[in-house]
Amino acid sequence: MSPRDATSTTYPIKGGARQASPFVLRMLVVLACLLFCLAAPPRAWAEGAGGEQAVADSAVDDEAGFGLNGFVRNNAGTARAARGEDLGYRIPLAEGSTLVLVNTPDEVLVYIDADAADAAGFSPDSGSDVEALRALVEELDETHSRGGALLSGEDKPWYVTTDPEVDRGAYRYRFCVEAAGGRYTSVVPAGLAEGEDAGDVAESLGIDLGDGVLWSDNAAFVPASDVAREAVPSLIDQAREFFGGIDYRPFWVSLKTSVIALVFTFVLGLVAAWKTMGTSSRLKGVLDSIFTIPMVLPPTVCGFLLMLFFGQSTSIGRWLIAHGIDIVFTWPAAVVSAIVVSFPLMYRTALGAFEALDPAMLDAARTLGWSETRIFRTLMLPLAWPSIAAGTVLAFARAMGEFGCTLFFAGNYAGVTQTIPIAIYFQWMGGSSAVALFWVVVVIVFSFLVILFINLYTGHSQAYRHRGLTRAERKQLAAGTRRRGADGAPGEGAPSGDGLEEQGGDALVIDREALRELLLGDAGAGSGGSAGDGSSKGGR
Amino acid sequence: MTDQMVSRRTFVGAGAALAAAGALAGCNNDAQAPAGSAGSAPAASTDGDAVELQVFAANSLEKAMPEVQALYTEQTGTTFADTQFRGSGDLVEQMTAGAQVDVLITASAGTMDDAEEGELVDPDTRVDMFVNDLVIVAATDSDIQINSLEDVAAVEGQIAIGEPGAVPAGKYANQSLASVGLYSDESGENGTYDASIADRVNAAQSVGNAAQYVSTGECSIGFVYTSDVYRYDGLKVVYTVPAEAHSAIVYPGAVASTSENPDVAQDFITFCMENSDALAIWSQYGFELSE
């Protein structure tokens, strides 16, 4: 009878866990889907799997019979001389490029190598060929724009030529110059005579050669059959590419940093709480303030103070560096930051738990001649364990989430001090929102697991409260349950708590809740009162 | 008893999920371990081929620089510790605080002057690497029209400007605003904004942040470099600030005085400026090499 009663009274907590587990699964699935939807490029939904497409740097028009390979968009050039040779304003050409497009302020100039045009059957005079080329170039220009302005949006005349050099307005465009070990498109002043220095002439004319080009594209102009193609990537390929492209080091840095910080925090926090408890009230106030202040201070202030303490700018820091402790902007600095910010959480929860212990019990142990260390190890630690465990988890979570102090004191070195929170911030600021989002989801899932763990663990460790009832209390509880069961469900006559659980109405649940509250409430008030007495006694 | 089992199973499930997450991440971690396992950041070794350079570069170089570094690693075998891309003022502060650096590239002559004064770099190695233009950007779908700097006061919404102490782009922006009386100090650093915009200026901690604020819609316009348009999506140039309105935008580079491999550091700077493949990368990201 009594074991079954014990089970029935602990049931609500276990039931909570049982309900939680499908819920957890569902949440994880939802989060995974969310991540996938947001991370996968929208293109993935537009195109189905299967079939072939031109690779990212290529485009093809099968009907017109030509295409482009190795497309590059150059958003700037340079007026810097190439190995001492002044080429005017030059823009590098990719290897094998036979098509050059120069977007000038007034028009779009396109040069196609005469041989390449012949090989692909392209005629600069054919309107349809030029239209087809224009569509190809505009498509690639858009995918290679890196967020810059687009060719397609502009209504400029197109000038297609096979002449390697044209004069337009104040500028002469040399589409394909081989010089100084490279190939360039270069802009020089119009009418530049042989042997004249482009830069000097431009200066004397008062023109900026760079103004003659907004940007320039180049590519290899090839017959359609030579265009590089690949299978259209499936959704899975794209997902693999995305997840394979993520730098996972922040996860390991975070984990490594917080675990090692936790070891220090755990030991230091417990010892600090234990030692603080035994000191006089005035000293205790001082110690308590010092130990707790990192929790109250903004993390950047902690970082700043640590920087002053260990950095080059103060004499203490210089002394430490001279004696081999040079940790600013290194991984140990990240650990120190995590310890400093997580320590107060461990310390406060441990102190609270120790103070809640019945001092009479500790005194009783002292009368038995136990040493303080033994009391701490065999009495205080086990009794305060649930709170200590919760404090440990909180401290770990705090260490994982540390941002301001770490950034200040340890910097942002990928793979060394870049933890997940820092990675999120810098990825987002660097424009990689998808990666930032990935880490956000990782952190949410991780936090979720931590909370789940706390709940399960607390439920588990609190079960003793119900098992630990005296025989008289259990009898009373059982009698009460039976009586209420009979009242609440007449005719059913279910004798056990388990049977009632399946069909009990609301009234029954409220009654049971009230009963539990009553029992626990009494116990809580009793221990709270004695702890209060104890702390005031201990204080003096 | 079944209840006990369920709870235990949940425990095991949670544990298994954690382990799986760990294993998943572990697969990729191995590949990146060589870069990460360099240990502490200032780990420039001196033995022969295995040189690792620590570069501190202006925030605007964040996307282009890693590609050039990869090219350099491919050609010479020299590797790079995680490069720091922050506001130039922050970089100099970080060096003052004791960070180990080989190459410093800032986005203004002023910040490099500070580094020289603090004896953080070797003045003989200083060279102007890039030039850039200051532009006002807005979100691609915005219909904001700006025809002169005076129009800035009339724009509705927040204005993203780099914090002038740390971000050279912010200083150039303030100099430009000072030229039309919207900022009180012509040097661009120690003044206040005109009342018409003062409460709408969002001080960003790097030029990239300013660009991101505009790109995500928090701010309607922002002062950034031309090259920033090419590293953030959803930005368009609505006005190019005349070069006369601010001091010339140059990116000086120099070898740090604490560098353990000054020759390699110098070689990397030269590579950035002379190599034609490197030039191709700078060109794609809209960086113009200085003459």
> Contact, B86 vs B163, CB < 8 A?
no
The arithmetic mean of pLDDT across residues A368-387, rounded, is 89
The arithmetic mean of pLDDT across residues A482-509, rounded, is 47
> Contact, B255 vs B264, CB < 8 A?
no
How close, in Å, is residue B286 to chain A by CA atoms? 4
Three-class DSSP category at B26: helix
Distance (Å, rounded) from C-alpha A540 to C-alpha A255?
43
Of the candidate ranges A237-241, A378-382, A467-471, the one whose mean pLDDT is the lowest: A467-471
With an 8 Å Cβ cutoff, are B279 and A92 in contact?
Answer: yes
* CATH entry 3.40.190.10 includes domain B134-245: yes
Helix intervals (H) in B37-87: 64-76
CB-CB neighbors (< 8 A) of A415 in chain B = 32, 35-38, 82
Quick one: pLDDT band at residue B4, thresholds 50, 70, 90? very low
Three-class DSSP category at A496: coil
Distance (Å, rounded) from C-alpha B101 to C-alpha B256?
6
CB-CB neighbors (< 8 A) of A413 in chain B = 41, 81-82, 84
Q: Look-up: residue for tokens 């700037």?
A: A76
Q: Which two tokens stand for residue B203?
A: 């001080």
Distance (Å, rounded) from C-alpha B207 to C-alpha B259?
27
Three-class DSSP category at A82: strand
> Contact, A140 vs A71, CB < 8 A?
yes
Q: Give yes or no for residue A421 having a pLDDT over 80.
A: yes
Q: Which two tokens stand for residue A313?
A: 């700018």
With an 8 Å Cβ cutoff, are A429 and B208 in contact?
Answer: yes
Three-class DSSP category at A117: helix
Q: pLDDT digits over A345-357, tens only?
A: 999 999 999 999 8
> Contact, A307 vs A333, CB < 8 A?
no
Which H/E stretch holds residue B215?
helix B207-215
What residues does CATH 3.40.190.10 cover in chain B?
Answer: 52-131+250-289, 134-245
Q: pLDDT digits over B19-63, tens only?
A: 444 433 333 333 333 333 333 334 444 445 678 999 999 999 999
CB-CB neighbors (< 8 A) of A247 in chain B = 32
Q: Give yes or no for residue A405 having a pLDDT over 60.
A: yes
Q: pLDDT digits over A5-49, tens only?
A: 443 333 333 333 444 455 555 655 666 655 555 544 444 444 444
CB-CB neighbors (< 8 A) of B36 in chain A = 249, 252-253, 414-416
Cβ contacts of A39 within 8 Å, gap of 6 or more: A239, A242, A434, A437, A438
CA angle in degrees (0–180, nearest 5) for A452-A457-A463:
130
Cβ contacts of A41 within 8 Å, gap of 6 or more: A238
Nearest to A328 among B13, B98, B280 (CB): B98
How much of chain A exceeds pLDDT 70, in percent?
Answer: 76
Buried b (16+ CB within 10 A) or exposed e, B73-107: eeeeebbbbbbbbbbbbbbbbbbebbbbbbbbbbb
With an 8 Å Cβ cutoff, are A149 and B237 in contact?
Answer: yes
With an 8 Å Cβ cutoff, are A78 and B99 in contact?
Answer: no
Nearest to A312 among B1, B32, B97 (CB): B97
Best B279, B281, B282 residue to mutate vs chain A (most A CBs within 10 Å)? B279
Report pLDDT for A264. 96
Report pLDDT for B49. 61
Buried b (16+ CB within 10 A) or exposed e, A333-365: bbbbbbbbbbbbbbbbbbbebbbbbebeebeeb
Q: pLDDT digits over A117-140, tens only?
A: 888 888 888 888 888 898 889 989
CB-CB neighbors (< 8 A) of A15 in chain B = 3
Quick one: pLDDT band at residue A493, thresholds 50, 70, 90? very low
How close, in Å, is residue B9 to chain A by CA atoms? 9
Distance (Å, rounded) from C-alpha B179 to C-alpha B173?
10
Q: Considering only alpha carbons, which residue of chain B is nearest residue A321?
A: B98
Three-class DSSP category at B234: coil
With an 8 Å Cβ cutoff, are B25 and A413 in contact?
Answer: no
How close, in Å, is residue B224 to chain A by CA atoms? 13
Q: Give the CATH number of domain A246-430; options: 3.30.590.10, 3.30.565.10, 1.10.3720.10, 1.20.810.10.
A: 1.10.3720.10
Asked if the ipTM is above 0.95, the reply is no
Nearest to A411 among B94, B235, B276 (CB): B94
Nearest to B236 among A17, A149, A312 (CB): A149
With an 8 Å Cβ cutoff, are B7 and A17 in contact?
Answer: yes
How much of chain B exceeds pLDDT 70, in percent?
Answer: 83
> Contact, A130 vs A158, CB < 8 A?
yes
Q: Give yes or no for residue A217 having a pLDDT over 50.
A: yes
The torsion region of residue A86 among left (phi > 0), alpha (psi -120 to 50) and beta comes to beta
The backbone torsions φ and ψ at residue B290, rounded to the nearest 5 degrees and listed phi first, read -70, 150
With an 8 Å Cβ cutoff, are A411 and B99 in contact?
Answer: yes
Report pLDDT for A19. 45
The arithmetic mean of pLDDT across residues B246-273, rounded, is 94
Three-class DSSP category at B56: strand
CB-CB neighbors (< 8 A) of A83 in chain B = 274
Best A242, A329, A454 residue to mutate vs chain B (most B CBs within 10 Å)? A329
How close, in Å, is residue A265 to chain B by CA atoms? 22
Best B3, B226, B233 residue to mutate vs chain A (most A CBs within 10 Å)? B3
The arithmetic mean of pLDDT across residues A492-507, rounded, is 43
Quick one: pLDDT band at residue A95, thresholds 50, 70, 90? confident
The arithmetic mean of pLDDT across residues B225-246, rounded, is 91
Give the pairing type, strands B250-255 and B103-105: antiparallel
Q: Give yes or no for residue A533 having a pLDDT over 50.
A: no
Q: pLDDT digits over B61-75, tens only?
A: 999 999 999 999 999
With an 8 Å Cβ cutoff, are B6 and A14 in contact?
Answer: yes
With an 8 Å Cβ cutoff, are B280 and A249 in contact?
Answer: no
Report pLDDT for A110. 92
Report pLDDT for B18. 42
How close, in Å, is residue A14 to chain B by CA atoms? 6
With an 8 Å Cβ cutoff, are A415 and B36 in contact?
Answer: yes
With an 8 Å Cβ cutoff, are A329 and B41 in contact?
Answer: yes
Nearest to B229 among A148, A412, A452 (CB): A148
With an 8 Å Cβ cutoff, are B41 and A330 in contact?
Answer: yes
Q: Considering only alpha carbons, which residue of chain A is nearest residue B213?
A: A429
Report pLDDT for B40. 38
Nearest to B276 among A74, A92, A317 (CB): A92
The arithmetic mean of pLDDT across residues B117-130, rounded, is 94
With an 8 Å Cβ cutoff, are B6 and A11 in contact?
Answer: no
Read off the DSSP letter of residue A379.
I
CB-CB neighbors (< 8 A) of A258 in chain B = none
Of the candidate ranges A105-114, A360-369, A508-517, the one whose mean pLDDT is the lowest: A508-517
Q: Give yes or no for residue B166 having a pLDDT over 80.
A: yes
With an 8 Å Cβ cutoff, are B236 and A73 in contact?
Answer: no
Q: Look-up: residue for tokens 């009479």?
A: A360
How close, in Å, is residue B140 to chain A by CA atoms? 9
With an 8 Å Cβ cutoff, are B82 and A20 in contact?
Answer: no
Q: In angstroms, how far is the first alpha carbon of chain B from the final one?
A: 81
How close, in Å, is residue A341 to chain B by CA atoms? 22
Q: Considering only alpha carbons, which residue of chain B is nearest residue A458?
A: B7
Cβ contacts of A408 within 8 Å, gap of 6 or more: A299, A300, A302, A303, A304, A306, A307, A337
Q: Considering only alpha carbons, which residue of chain A is nearest residue B235?
A: A147
pTM, to two decimals: 0.73
For domain B52-131+250-289, the CATH class is: alpha beta
Count of CB pairs separated by less than 8 Å, A with B: 194
How close, in Å, is residue A149 to chain B by CA atoms? 7
